Structure formats: C-alpha cells, structure tokens
Amino acid sequence: MVERISIPDLLNEDRIIKICAPMVRYSRRAFRMLVRKYGCDLAYTPMIISNSFAQSKQCRDNEFQPHELDRPLVVQFAASNAKDFADATEIVFPDVDGVGLNCGCPQRWAMAEGYGAKLIKNPELVRDIIKTTRNRIPSNDFSISVKIRILETEEGTVDMCRQFESAGASYIAVHGRTTKERNQPPHYDIIKSIKDSVDIPVVANGGIKTPHDIERIHEITGVNGVMVAQGLLNNPAMFGGYEKTPVQCIEDWLSVTEQFETIFQHFHNHLIYMQKYTTPKWEKQVFNNLKHKKDILDYLSLKYEL
C-alpha cells in the first residue's frame, strides 16, 4: 500500500490545485498518467456504478486497476443509497486517496436510477451516504467528497453545501451549472458564494478551456482548486501552461499507452480530441477513419516526424 495523500491538505496548499475531472470512457488510467506529466495534481476515475462494482469482480477488473504511480486518485461512484456507496468505498480504500459521490450527472437514465443530479434534490440522502461511509472507513485522512451541480437558487445551493460540510464531506467540487444548463457560461458567482460560506475546500468546475481561464476563474471564485474535463481532452498539456496540444504530448501518449494497456478505441479517440484544433477538416476525416494502430502510428510518424 502506497502512503495515502490527504486531499484536503493538498487542496489547502497555497496555490491552485489542478484536477482532472471524472469522465466516463476517458479519464482512465493511461489518460490520467498523461495529464499527470503536465502538472495535474489530482485525478478522478470515470464514474463507476457502486453496486455493480461491489457485486461484480468483472466490473472491478474492468474499471479499477490501481497503480502506485497513479496517485493521488479519487474514485468516483454513482450511488442511490448509503450501503452501495460505503460497500464500494471499502473495496477501494486501501489503494486510493479518496472517493467522490456523483451528484451532478444530468442524464435521464442516471436520474431514473436515482443517481447523479437526482441526489441534489435529496440532500438528506447525500448526508446519510457521507455519514455512513465515514463511519465505516477507519481513517480520517481518507477523503469523501461530493461533486454537485448548482440548484436554481444561490441560497438553496449554499445551504445544501453547508449541509454536506456538516455531514463530514472532505471538500466539494462544484460544476457551476444547473441540471438543465448545458453550454452556457457557468455561474462562477455562485461558486464564490459557496467558497465564502463553508470552511472545507471548494473546487470550481465548468468552462475552463485555457491556462488563462485557470487563473481567471481562480481569481473570481477564490476556490482551492480547478477541475477540467473537456479542456483536458482537447489539450492534455493545458495544466502545463500550453495553449494547444504540443507534439511532445502526442509522443507522450504513445509511450504512456505502451506502458498502460489501452484499448484501440480509447487510444484513437484521445488522439482525435488532442488534434482537434491542430488538424484541418479533410485530414480529420482521414485520421478519424483509421482502423488499425499501425496505420495511426505511421500517420503520426509522417506528420510529426516522430
């Protein structure tokens, strides 16, 4: 067991902590290792359904392969009750630094199962999940956090966050949009109000696309950390100060995926994202249709002289 890193202590350092967001299909181990090379301080797994994880070895083997270099790490679970979340947490406890409860996924299937953003409609249930899990885990250093979307009102959102704090949440990650909002600018003013109203660390998420955005949103909100999803897919080197994916980062992806097994589809999809802003449309059509790793490697070696 690698020594555990206290995530609240990390978030309380006197600098902006940079976090790779949970992303279904994408924030898997090889990608986490890539963004860590470029200054990512903390990474999340994709959302994992807690009861499948607790009950199925196949699910565990597919979704979770701990590695001593892949730290600090938060495993994000979807849960609709305290038992499922606590059972899943007990399994990952020896190998990671914390777990996060998904209280933000707005997809219809997830809400219908009682997961994701359904939970912000029932803060009492979230409190129960946090408290039950805290009582089961024999370490105060182990982080139990929530990732939320904001509610329709500022008062309601702040009150909800205070409730999660008093239940024992280690920190709160806030996607500054409501469940109904998609691409509109996030409400950073509400994230600031949350930060001003609780004593635990707060992380800002939503709409951070460039290194400049990191500074700007930190300044507006005063948060402890920033969390990025889409911006890191398009440019995994963003936390290192790069405006767009440098060729070195593409080369790093090739070596990371040699070391950490990655299925072809993920290997290819990440390269498609990384080259989104550096490849003309006609060339994208060619690249996106490549079907074999060898063809991709030949293409990259020709284009970038790798």
Ligand X SMILES: Cc1cc2nc3c(=O)[nH]c(=O)nc-3n(C[C@H](O)[C@H](O)[C@H](O)COP(=O)(O)O)c2cc1C
Least separation in angstroms between CB 54 and ligand X: 18
Which tokens belong to 149? 């979307």
**The one among 229, 237, 238, 250 contacting ligand X by CB under 6 A:** 229
Give how far the C-alpha of residue 175 lies from the chain's centroid of Cα atoms, to the nearest Å: 11
Residue type, 225: G
Phi, psi for 42 (deg, rounded to 5): -155, 135
Least separation in angstroms between CB 20 and ligand X: 9
Least separation in angstroms between CB 173 and ligand X: 8
Q: Is 178 in the site for ligand X (CB under 6 A)?
A: no
**65 half-sphere exposure, CB direction, 13 A CA radius:** 12
- Measure the N-to-C terminal CA separation of the chain; round to a whole number of Å: 37
Q: Which of 138, 148, 145 is nearest to 176 (CA)?
A: 148
Q: Which of 165, 5, 131, 129 is nearest to 74 (CA)?
A: 5
Q: Which stretch binds ligand X (CB under 6 A): 11-19, 88-96, 202-210, 246-254?
A: 202-210
Least separation in angstroms between CB 226 and ligand X: 9
- Closer residue to ligand X in complex, CB, 211/231: 231
Q: Which stretch binds ligand X (CB under 6 A): 51-59, 222-230, 262-270, 278-286?
A: 222-230
Q: Which stretch binds ligand X (CB under 6 A): 83-91, 135-143, 201-209, 241-249?
A: 201-209
Binding map of ligand X across residues 19-48, x = CB under 6 A, - = no contact: --xxxx-x-------------------xx-
Indicate which residue of 40, 103, 105, 161 is catalytic. 105
Helices vs strands, H then E, count in the chain: 15, 9
**82 half-sphere exposure, CB direction, 13 A CA radius:** 17
Q: Where are the alpha helices (DSSP H) in 25-94?
A: 29-37, 50-55, 57-63, 82-92
Q: Is 230 in the site for ligand X (CB under 6 A)?
A: yes
Is 105 one of the catalytic residues?
A: yes
Q: Which stretch binds ligand X (CB under 6 A): 136-144, 224-232, 237-245, 272-280?
A: 224-232
Q: Is 207 in the site for ligand X (CB under 6 A)?
A: yes
Residues 6+ apart with CB under 8 A from 112: none
Least separation in angstroms between CB 293 and ligand X: 22
| 213 CB-contact burial (10 Å; exposed 0-12 / middle 13-18 / buried 19+) | middle
- Closer residue to ligand X in complex, CB, 73/229: 229
Q: Is 175 in the site for ligand X (CB under 6 A)?
A: yes
Q: Is 231 in the site for ligand X (CB under 6 A)?
A: yes
Q: What is the DSSP string of 226-292?
A: EEESHHHHH-TTGGGT-SS--HHHHHHHHHHHHHS---HHHHHHHHHHHTTTTS-HHHHHHHHT--S
- Closer residue to ligand X in complex, CB, 120/208: 208
- Find out whether 105 and 72 touch, Cβ atoms under 8 Å: no
Q: Which stretch binds ligand X (CB under 6 A): 67-75, 98-106, 216-224, 237-245?
A: 98-106
Q: Is 172 in the site for ligand X (CB under 6 A)?
A: no
Site residues, ligand X (CB under 6 A): 21-24, 26, 46-47, 76, 102, 104-105, 147, 175, 205-208, 228-231
Which sequence positions are flagged as catalytic?
A: 105
